Structure 1
Amino acid sequence: MRHPRTRQPRVPELPEVESVRRGLAPRVVGNTVLDVAILRDYSIRHQVGGAQEFRDRLVGSTLCEVARRGKFLWMTARKDGSAPVALVAHLGMSGQFRFFENEARPLHPHARVTMLLGSGASRTELDFIDQRTFGYLVVDDVIGTSDHLAAGAGTGAALIPRRVSHIARDILDPHFDIDAVAGSLRTRSSAIKSLLLGQQTVSGIGNIYADEALWRARVHPAQSARQISSEKMRLVLESAAAVMAAALEVGGTSFDALYVNVNGESGYFSRSLQAYGRTGEPCPRCGTPIRRIVVGGRSSHICPRCQRRR
């Protein structure tokens, strides 16, 4: 069984966040937020009105969907007679949502926000746990999407949280326009990996899946996007979609307990990585040792034979 040697802290990427969204949706939709306890104010640091505003906007509302764009997810909440709001979550490096059903239990040492949800007679506690505290929650207004299409995975509404509205559509979004994005990327002179990580043209791709996509497409991560052909650029995006879809099937990529889904389970895509974290190991395609280089300040893993810079 192969395991990558890289053990550096990492931000959950699209497959991990989508795994969390899929775990949340069936268990929160239709529930009312009965109470909220903020255990660490820093975890709601973007809430202008602080803990009081966070609670006032959320308590008494009903959660009606769980949506995602890129690495951001949100739960749309409605109160009778009021406009909907969004409970936006960014997981940072170690953010987790965990459920505790009708049971007495010790509070997790890294719990930052806990919510009591109810539907009928049932009660569920949902905790936001974040050991490294780079993640956050914020209750935000929603606005119309710029293209008037559904905002992302898990929603049919053309409404998006204001703070997420600048994030590009991700590569698994049904409204993602691969040809338009490939054309846009090819107008830039920056390194292709830096553009994939930028979230402004395509979202959800982080360090792991960028390395894997570029290895699949045989493109050097430092190659100027302007020098990549239309066909090859499309292949890069198709490769990113393929690798993230495969990761999603096994719950994403976990190297430690900092990323788990809502049931506390790790993802297993680390066993299928071909380039990321495999410095010194033979390329699965040609046998040349994988090298670690730095592109745009980020570690990158390449096959120097398959991914020659042109």
Structure 2
Amino acid sequence: MPELPEVETVRAGLDRHVVGARVRDVEVLRDDSVRRHDGGAAAFADQLVGRRLAAAQRRGKYLWLPLSDASADAASAAFLVHLGMSGQLLVRDASSSWRHPHLRVRLHLDGAPSGATALDFVDQRTFGHLSVADLVPVPVPEPPAPRVRDAERVPAPVAHIARDLLDPVLAPGTAARATLVGAVRRRRTGIKRALLDQTLVSGIGNIYADEALWRARLHHARAADALRPVDVRRLLDAAEAVMREALAVGGTSFDSLYVNVNGESGYFARGLAAYGREGEPCPRCGAPIRRSPFMNRSAFWCPRCQPRPRVPR
């Protein structure tokens, strides 16, 4: 499933290729892909046609492009995307006769800076979804952080999602980062479950949680409320570092289901230390990496560097 670095890679691609384009027409080839939009496919298309796509934004694994309108001073709604398990946004030339076999929605564009004439939503497993959502205000951090990239209005379905570790508001040393450390330590659950809670800190998924825990030398079942502040700070720093490294190489691709807007794969899978490496030597100590069942998925960890707690959660 695309995680924060993969979604940020797509966001940056949209910013370069389609911002400023006007939506001329919309084709919905599978209604399931707009199932979260009130009114269905027809209403979805009607609210997009004629609107211009403004700067691409993201919070956690959601991304959106505000919709500007010549009759309004500021955008009141946004084109909202969740990629789900296998969703892709691809810039295309609509004049080509070839269409991706899993094309679900196509936005026909005029005036894209890249010259693209279509933005395709491709989704093999159909867990992703698109909608047009109203923009609503969100709390301003106190004290206000410098260089805050995120607008103070977000799509309504995203309002409950916490900020992520790449957000300047949560930079190390800020009051907001210290507040997050305290919030993590109040959770009466295993530390990996806390990392995956998108209402606590967003954007960390299974892959990067395992990699951060390996870097911080913490077992995934350690109790969050038993960790010292220094342990939580070290873990959050590790999570931020691993996601920034993944972002620098375009994210993590294990197969063709995750690509950027140009259809290119990311290369961070080559640098994973724990995730997916069951039985392989730990890059730090050489012990074989282990895999444990975790929330219908898997957790990968080093038995020597990340000892199992006596009373796991």
Give me the TM-score of the superposition, normalised by structure 2: 0.91
Output the CA distance in 1 between the equivalents of 2:66 and 2:112: 20
One-letter amino acid matched to 1:132: R
| Residues 90 and 268 of structure 1: CA distance in aligned 2, closer, same or farther (over 3 Å) | same
Alpha carbons 1:222, 1:295 under 8 Å: kept: no
Shift of 1:84: 2.5
Q: Give the structure 2 partner of residue 104 of structure 1.
A: 96
Match of 1:14 among 4, 26, 34: 4
Report if aligned partners of 2:107, 2:118 keep a CA contact under 8 Å in 1.
yes
Q: Deviations over 1:264-306 (max 9, x none)?
A: 1100000000000110111111111100012344310010111
The offset of 1:154, in angstroms, is 9.7
Name the CA distance, whole Å, in 1 between partners of 2:38 and 2:63. 20
Q: Structure 1 residues 297, 275: CA separation in 2 closer, same or farther (over 3 Å shift)?
A: same
Aligned-partner SS, 2:167: coil
Match of 1:169 in 2: 163
Aligned residues: 298
Separation of aligned partners in 1, 2:167 and 2:5: 12
Q: Structure 1 residues 134 and 154, CA, compared in 2 at 3 Å: closer, same or farther?
A: farther
- Deviation, structure 1 residue 99: 1.3
Q: Cα offset for 1:101?
A: 2.8
Aligned to 1:293: 292
Deviation at 1:155, TM superposition (A): 5.0
8 A contact 1:39–1:113 mirrored in 2: yes
Q: How does 1:269-308 map to 2 (within 5 A)?
A: 269-308=268-307
SS across alignment from 1:260: coil
Superposed CA deviations along residues 32-53 of structure 1, whole A, max 9, x for unmatched, are 1111010000000011111121
| 1:212-269 alpha-carbon deviations (Å, 9 max, x no partner) | 0000000000011011110010000000000000000000000000001111110000
Confirm or deny: 8 A CA contact 2:91 2:116 kept in the other structure. Answer: no
Does the CA-based 8 Å contact 1:148-1:158 persist in structure 2? Answer: no
Whole-angstrom CA distance in 2 between matches of 1:147 and 1:69:
15
Cross-structure match for 1:67: 57
Partner of 1:65: helix, strand, or coil?
coil
Identity between Structure 1 and Structure 2 (%) = 53
Shift of 1:120: 8.5
Q: Does 1:261 align with 2:270?
A: no
**Structure 1 unpaired stretches of 5+:** 1-10
Amino acid at match of 2:277: R
Q: Which residue of 2 aligns with 1:135?
A: 128
Q: Supply the distance in 1 between the matched residues of 2:189 and 2:112 (Cα, whole angstroms).
A: 54
Residue type at the aligned position of 2:231 = K
Q: Secondary structure at the match of 1:88?
A: strand
Q: How far is 1:147 from its partner?
A: 2.2
Q: Give SS of 1:29's match.
A: coil
Please give the alpha-carbon distance, in whole angstroms, between the structure 1 residues aligned to 2:307 and 2:225. Answer: 16
Question: Would the aligned equivalents of 1:215 and 1:303 in 2 still touch at CA under 8 Å?
Answer: yes
Report deviation, 1:59: 0.5
Paired residues of 1:171 and 1:202 also in contact (CA < 8 A): yes
Shift of 1:123: 5.8
Secondary structure of the corresponding residue to residue 77 of structure 1: strand
